[in-house]
Amino acid sequence: MTRDLKYTRNIGIMAHIDAGKTTTTERILYYTGVNRNIGEVDKGSTTMDWMVQEQERGITITAAATTCYWDHKNEQHKINIIDTPGHVDFTVEVERSLRVLDGAVALFCAVGGVQPQSETVWHQAEKYGVPRISYINKMDRPGADFFGVIKQIKERLGAKAIPLQIPIGSEESFRGVVDLIKNKAYEWDDDSQGANYYEIPIPEDIKDIVYEYRLKLIEGAVEERDDLLEKFLNDSDSLSEEDIISVIRKATLELRITPVICGSSFKNKGVQCLLDSILLYLPSPLDIPPVKGINPYTEKEEFRNADVNEPFSALAFKIATDPYVGRIAFFRVYSGKFKAGSVALNTGTEKRERIARIVQMHGNKQIPLEEIEAGDIGVAVGFKQIRTGDTLCDEKHPIVLELMTFPEPVIGIAVEPKTQADIDKLSLALNKLAEEDPTFRVVVDNETGQTVISGMGELHLEILMDRLKREFNVECNEGKPSVASKEAIVNEVKHREIYKKQTGGKGKFADIEFIISPADPDKKGLQFINEIKGGSIPKEYIAAVEKGFKSAMSNGVLAGFPVESIKIRLIDGSYHPVDSDSLSFELAARIAFRESCQKSKSILLEPIMKLEIATPEEYLGDVLGDLNRRRGNTENVTVKAGLRILKTTVPLAEMFGYVTELRTITSGRATSSLEFSHYAETPKIVMDEVLLRLRGMVIND
C-alpha cells in the first residue's frame, strides 16, 4: 500500500563510543511498542546489538536496521532507524549508513561531550549533507554539563547549536526538561519505566535561564521570516508553536543549525521528546533533493525523485551473511517500486538480478515484504551477485548512483588455518567477510603463499578472527600485527624504456619516454598526463601505458608496499607497425615503473593516528613520557571535568598493545581513543629496521 512519504523518516543514530546510541535505540523500540521489554547493553539483551561479539563486549560492531511507528498529532509516522557503531575501527558502517539516510541524531555524552569519534561522524554527515539534531544523553551522570556540551558543539564542530530544551536538574537530581517552544516543563514517571510523563510548573531556580534562552530562540526564529518579525513586533506573544517549529525545521534541513535536546536514555527520561523532534525537524524523503546519477549508456546526468511513479532505482549499501538464508543486501529505494521475485538491472555488474525475497530487518529478525517503494529501506534475499555500492534499477531506465568511498586498511596480520583440511574453508570464509566489509582486505603473497588480512585496527581484526572461529568454524594461527605502509618517490626522473621480444613470427615491441615525479599535493593514485605530440604512439596504446603504470603501483620497489600516489608525464615514444600491441605497451610501462623508481629515491610512508587521552593529572608526566618513547607529537593539553585531555599524533606502528600499557601506567583510570589521520614519511632509522625485518638482509646506504 502506498504511504504518504511525508510521514516517513530514514534516520541514523551516530556518536562516539559509549555515548548511549544502542541504549537510546532500545528505548525508542520500547516506547514505540516494537519491543515489550527494554533491552540492556550491560545484560547483552539488546535487539540492535544482536551479534555474539557485540553482546559480549557491550559495543556496536555492525550497523543494525529496524522500523518503528510513532504517532504525533494523530498522524502515524514510520521511522527507519540505523544504529551505527561508535568505535573508529568500524567507521565504514557509519559511512555507508549516512550515504543512504535522510537525517541523523548526533548523540553526545553530557560528561564526555564532543569526543574524537563525535567529530569524525559529524564530518561524515557534513560530507553527505545529512541534517542533524543533537541529543545530549546521560544527564544523570556525575559531571553532566548541558551548556558545556553545547559550547563544545559550537567550538569543536563549528555548528550553530540551538537548545530547544533546558534540563531540570543534572546528575542525580536530573528529573525532566523544559520545552522552550511550548514554555512548559515535563517530568518522567519512574514507576512506568518512563512511559508516562506529565506537565509540572517550571522550577523557580531555572526560570531566568528558561526566559533567556526562550527569548533567544524566538528572536532567532523571527529573523528568519519577515512576516514573523512583523507579527512579533506587533505582539510578542502572538507567535504560535507552529510558526517557531516551521522556522527551526527549515533551518535544520538547510544545514544552518542543529537543534539540541537532552535526556537520560538509561533512566528512561527524554526519549519521547527525541521521537517528536525526529518527526518535527528531520527530513522525509520528499524533503531531500532528487538523487543524482549517470546513465551508463549515454553517460549523461539523470535525476530520480522520491516518487513511486518514477523508474525504480536503489543503492545497495551493505552486504551481510545471514546464518539461515546466506548473503543478504541492505538497500535504499530512491524512486519507483519493486516487487519480490522481480528482476532489476545491477549497473555495477551490468547483469540482470532476480531478487527472490524482500524483507525488513528488526535487529536480526526478518519481516517479509511483498513490495518496497521509494523512500524505504529494505533487505534483498536470494540473489547472485550484489556488492556494496551497486546500483539496482529498472532495466529500461538504467542509472549509476554516486559511488561510496571507503578508507584504506592500516593494519595487517598473516593467518593460516590450524589444519590443512581447513585451507579451502578459510579461503571461502575470508572472501565472504571481504564481501561484507569494504575496509577488510585479503592478499595472498604469490612468492611465499602467505595469506595476509588487513583492516582498520586491532579490534577490527580481532572481531574478524573471532567470526572466523564462531561463524565459519575455522581456527587460525596468526602472526604479529604489521602496519600497512605505503611507498613514495622523492625525486623527478626522466626514463626511456624499450621493450623488445622476438620469438619467431610476430614479436613484441614498445618504446616509451616519460618523466616520473611525486604527485601534486592534492592528487591521490596515478596522475597520468599524456604529452605525446605528432602521434609517435597511437591513441589506443596510450590507455595501455596508463593501465601498466596503474597496476605496477600495487608493488613498490623498496618492500613491495603499494605506491600511494605518483605523477607520470608521457612525453615521447615509438611503435612498430607489426610487433606493437596494447599488451606490449602495458608490459613496457610495468618494467619502466620499477626501473625509474629505482633511479629515484624511494621512501616508506607510515600511517599516523590521532590519539586523544583523558587522564588524571597525577599520571600526566608518565603518560607524556610514554608517548615520547612512542614517537608521539603532543599538540595540546586541556582540562575537562577534572581530567587532563591530551591530543597527540603518533605512528600506528608504536601503538600495538597501547591500551593495556595505558591502563598499567594510570592504574586503569585513563581512557584513550585512536583514529587514522594521515600517512607521513617514516624516519630513516625506523625505515631501515622495517626493511631489514622484511628483507632479512643488511641495508646499505
Segment 85-113, tens digit of pLDDT: 545 555 666 666 777 889 999 999 998 88
User: Which tops the pLDDT comparison, 670 or 70?
Assistant: 70
User: Which tops the pLDDT comparison, 21 or 158?
Assistant: 158
Whether 502 has a pLDDT exceeding 80, the answer reads no
Model confidence at 611, pLDDT cuts 50, 70, 90, reads confident
Query: Can you give the pLDDT at residue 438?
Result: 75
Which 3 state secondary structure label does DSSP give 142?
coil
What is the distance, to the nearest Å, from the Cα of residue 395 to the centroid of all Cα atoms in its chain?
30
* C-alpha grid cell, residue 3: 504511504
What are the extents of the domains in the chain?
5-200+258-281, 291-401, 411-482, 491-600, 605-695
Query: Can you give the pLDDT at residue 93?
Result: 62
Q: What is the mean pLDDT of residues 339-365?
A: 84
Q: Which CATH superfamily is domain 411-482 in?
A: Elongation Factor G (Translational Gtpase), domain 3 (3.30.70.870)
What is the distance, to the nearest Å, from the Cα of residue 329 to the centroid of all Cα atoms in its chain?
17
Number of H helices, E strands in the chain: 16, 38
CATH architecture assignment, domain 491-600 = 2-Layer Sandwich (3.30)
Q: Which of 101, 92, 54 is nearest to 364 (CA)?
A: 54
Whether 232 has a pLDDT exceeding 70, the answer reads yes
In the 8-state DSSP scheme, what is residue 508?
E
Query: Can you give the pLDDT at residue 48?
Result: 43
DSSP string, 310-328: SPPEEEEEEEEEETTTEEE
Q: Which CATH number fits domain 5-200+258-281: 3.40.50.300, 3.30.1370.60, 3.30.70.240, 3.40.190.80?
A: 3.40.50.300
Model confidence at 467, pLDDT cuts 50, 70, 90, reads confident
Query: Can you give the pLDDT at residue 57?
Result: 41
The CATH class, in words, for 605-695 is alpha beta
Distance (Å) of CA 167 to CA 155, 164, 275, 641? 21, 10, 17, 19
Q: Whole-angstrom Cα distance, residue 413 to residue 416?
A: 10
Q: What is the mean pLDDT of residues 330-355?
A: 90
Q: Are residues 604 and 486 in contact, defined by beta-carbon separation less than 8 angstroms?
A: yes
* C-alpha grid cell, residue 39: 533491552
In the 8-state DSSP scheme, what is residue 286?
T
Query: What is the 3-state secondary structure of 28-52?
Result: HHHHCCCCCCCCCCCCCCCCCCCCH
Q: Which residues are within 8 A (CB) of 114 and not within 5 positions of it... i.e. 6 or more apart? A: 108, 149, 152, 153, 156, 157
Q: What is the mean pLDDT of residues 17-25?
A: 79
* C-alpha grid cell, residue 365: 529478525
What is the distance, to the nearest Å, from the Cα of residue 272 to the centroid of all Cα atoms in its chain?
28
Q: Whole-angstrom Cα distance, residue 61 to residue 40?
A: 16
CATH architecture assignment, domain 291-401 = Beta Barrel (2.40)
Q: Are residues 633 and 649 in contact, defined by beta-carbon separation less than 8 angstroms?
A: yes
Percentage of the chain lying above the pLDDT 70 cut: 89
Query: Can you give the pLDDT at residue 404?
Result: 66
DSSP string, 152-218: HHHHHH---EEESEEEES-GGG--EEEETTTTEEEEE-GGGTTS-EEEEPPPGGGHHHHHHHHHHHH
Model confidence at 367, pLDDT cuts 50, 70, 90, reads confident
* C-alpha grid cell, residue 610: 590521532
Q: What is the mean pLDDT of residues 13-29?
A: 81
Average pLDDT, the chain: 83
Query: Can you give the pLDDT at residue 453?
Result: 85
Model confidence at 236, pLDDT cuts 50, 70, 90, reads low
pTM of the model: 0.69
Quick check: do 411-482 and 491-600 share a fold? no
* CB-CB neighbours of 362 under 10 Å: 19
Model confidence at 191, pLDDT cuts 50, 70, 90, reads confident
DSSP string, 335-397: ESEEETT-EEEETTTTEEEE--EEEEEETTEEEEESEEETT-EEEEES-S---TT-EEE-TTS
